[in-house]
Copies of this chain bind each other. A is one copy, B any other.
Amino acid sequence: MLRDEEDAFGHEMLDYLEKGEAVEIIERDDGFIDVSGGAKAYFAEYEEWPSHQKEAMAYVNGRVLDVGCGAGRVALYLQEKGLEVLGIDNSPLAIDVCKRRGLKKCRVLPVTRVSSRLGVFDTILMFGNNFGLFGSPRRARWLLRRFGNMTSLQGRIIAESNDVHKTEIPEHLVYHEFNRKRGRMPGQVRIRVRYRRHATPWFDYLMVSKEEMRGILADTGWRVSGFLDSEGSPYIAVIEKT
């Protein structure tokens, strides 16, 4: 369980809920630092979502697990549609925020701790770039197999990633090469979230091209049945059982 001083993401969510503003800073292990889209995106209403995310809602059905549910924007939308949704996040304060916003089922749980004890799901959501929570190809394959045991026969994973190879930003290209040299995937970024005096532990976040995603899925019991593209480098994969 994250200690309070490590719950940078949760403090950000809580401040945004209470004060309407919070700036998220992401620091990468090569010293690169920048603000993200910010807390606002985690509270966006359906109408404000990018269209590929809206389109993805058509593939959601049955009992839903929202992995890395943040402030609950997707889980709350689905709950309102009448679906049964369980939101999980490793941030205790983010889960508090979800509860305060009316999400009925949510709990503090990192993706590595999911198991069939949570019951059987028809849809597993990894939205807002949360394919990244797999962390590494190895851990992705290990968790994908576990997801197989937690899902119905028609079960789907709807996962968003970011094709980092589409960037032309020099600092990022240098970082991809740095990653290759140390035996990591180019888009396997090691980052931490910083918010005021809070900083999460360093963690790996995995961003992949469609090709790379297909490679990771091979022999895990899952395959991509379709992609939903955005106007930029983010995309959503609809993943089904082989």
Complex-state Cα separation, A59 to B31, whole angstroms: 43
Nearest CB of B to A5, in Å? 9
Complex-state Cα separation, A139 to B242, whole angstroms: 71
Closest to A199 in B: B31
**How many subunits of this chain does the assembly comprise?**
2
Complex-state Cα separation, A32 to B196, whole angstroms: 5
Q: Does A197 contact B (CB under 8 A)?
A: yes
- With a cutoff of 8 Å between Cβ atoms, the chain B residues found around residue A197 in the complex are 30-33, 171
Determine whether the beta carbon of B33 is less than 8 Å from that of A196: yes
Q: Does A35 contact B (CB under 8 A)?
A: yes
Nearest CB of B to A198, in Å? 8
Closest to A38 in B: B35
Nearest CB of B to A17, in Å? 18
Residues of chain A in range 22-52 having any CB-CB distance to chain B below 8 Å: 23, 25, 30-35
- With a cutoff of 8 Å between Cβ atoms, the chain B residues found around residue A194 in the complex are 33
Interface size on A, as a range, is 10 to 19
Nearest CB of B to A175, in Å? 9
Residues of chain A in range 196-226 having any CB-CB distance to chain B below 8 Å: 196-197, 199
Closest to A31 in B: B197
Determine whether the beta carbon of A35 is less than 8 Å from that of B32: no
Complex-state Cα separation, A171 to B11, whole angstroms: 13
Complex-state Cα separation, A180 to B220, whole angstroms: 58
Complex-state Cα separation, A2 to B23, whole angstroms: 29
Determine whether the beta carbon of A34 is less than 8 Å from that of B171: no
- With a cutoff of 8 Å between Cβ atoms, the chain B residues found around residue A32 in the complex are 196-197
Given contacts A30-B197, A31-B199, 11 further A-B contacts (CB under 8 A): A23-B34, A23-B35, A25-B35, A31-B197, A32-B196, A32-B197, A33-B194, A33-B195, A33-B197, A34-B196, A171-B197
Q: Can you list 19 contacts pairing A with B, beta carbon distance less than 8 Å? A: A23-B34, A23-B35, A25-B25, A25-B33, A25-B34, A25-B35, A30-B197, A31-B197, A31-B199, A32-B196, A32-B197, A33-B194, A33-B195, A33-B196, A33-B197, A34-B196, A35-B35, A171-B196, A171-B197
Q: Enumerate chain A interface residues (CB-CB to B < 8 A).
A: 23, 25, 30-35, 171, 194-197, 199
Of all A-B residue pairs in the complex, the 10 with the closest CB atoms, nearest first, are A32-B197, A33-B194, A23-B35, A31-B197, A171-B197, A25-B33, A32-B196, A171-B196, A35-B35, A25-B25
